[in-house]
Each structure stands twice: as C-alpha cells, then as structure tokens.
Amino acid sequence: MVDLSQYLPILLFLGVAIAISSIFVFLPMGVARLTGAHKPTAAKLAEYECGFPAFEDSRSQFDVRFYLVAILFIIFDLEAAFLFPWAVSLEEIGIAGWATMMVFLFELIIGFIYAWKVGALEWE
C-alpha cells in the first residue's frame, strides 16, 4: 500500500510554493502603486517591437515540424513510461521479461529508423 502520509507534505509544499510565488508577483504591484512607480503609458504598454508598431498579429501560424516533434515526444515518453516498471522488476521477471521488452523496443526502433530515413528529424 502506498504510504499516503509521504504525499501530504507534497500537497502542503504545493500550497506554500504557490503562496510564495504569488506574493512575489503581487506584492511588488502593490508596492509600486504606493511608491508611485506605477505610471503606465500607452507606449510603455505596447508590445515590444524594434521601435515601430507591429505589422501583424504576433500569434502567427507555425511550422508543422513543431507538432511532429511534440507527437514524437509523446510516443517516446510513453515508451519510457513502459520502461519504468520493467526496470525495477527486472530481477523478478527474468530473461523472459527482458526479451519481452527487447521486442517492444525493437518495434519502436523500427519507427525511429523510419522517422530518421524519411527525414522527420531533419532541421535546417
């Protein structure tokens, strides 16, 4: 059974961490209002561009390769996820379990080689 008492400090830590970082963000905003540093102007609030108004919407369409990287990442991440329980129970499952994982890895290496050959990993 999982020792839940070990997870409670993590929850508490999450609360503390959020509290600390929120204080860091919001306290200076208040302080700036009190000290008079808070003086927004239209030019100051404009988005950064090299001295001229922006030509176009900044959220432009992006190269499809970024999606491909994300998809490949999901697949390899899942593969790694399957490896974790295998790594800790290798002694128990023996050579049969080891061979099972090698077959699994082989299946994915085929995919990896395909990705390499097609040029999905190319950037220029």
Question: Which H, E and C letters describe the chain, residue by residue?
Answer: CCCHHHCHHHHHHHHHHHHHHHHHHHHHHHHHHHHCCCCCCHHHHCCCCCCCCCCCCCCCCCCHHHHHHHHHHHHHHHHHHHHHHHHHCHHHHHHHHHHHHHHHHHHHHHHHHHHHHHCCCCCC
Per-residue contact flags (x/-) with another protein for residues 54 to 83, judged by CB under 8 A: x--xxxxxx-xxxxxxxxxxxxxxxxxxxx
Shortest CB 89 distance to another protein, Å: 3
Tell me if 51 contacts another protein by CB under 8 A: no
Q: In the window 81-120, what residues touch another protein (CB under 8 A)?
A: 81-98, 100-105, 107-112, 114-116, 118-120
Contacts 24+ apart (CB under 8 A), 90-93: none
Q: In the window 11-50, what residues touch another protein (CB under 8 A)?
A: 11-14, 16-18, 20-22, 24-29, 31-32, 35, 37-40, 42, 44-49
The site for another protein, by CB under 8 A, has a size of 103
Residue from 51, 52, 53, 123 that binds another protein (CB under 8 A)? 123
Residue from 2, 51, 52, 53 that binds another protein (CB under 8 A)? 2
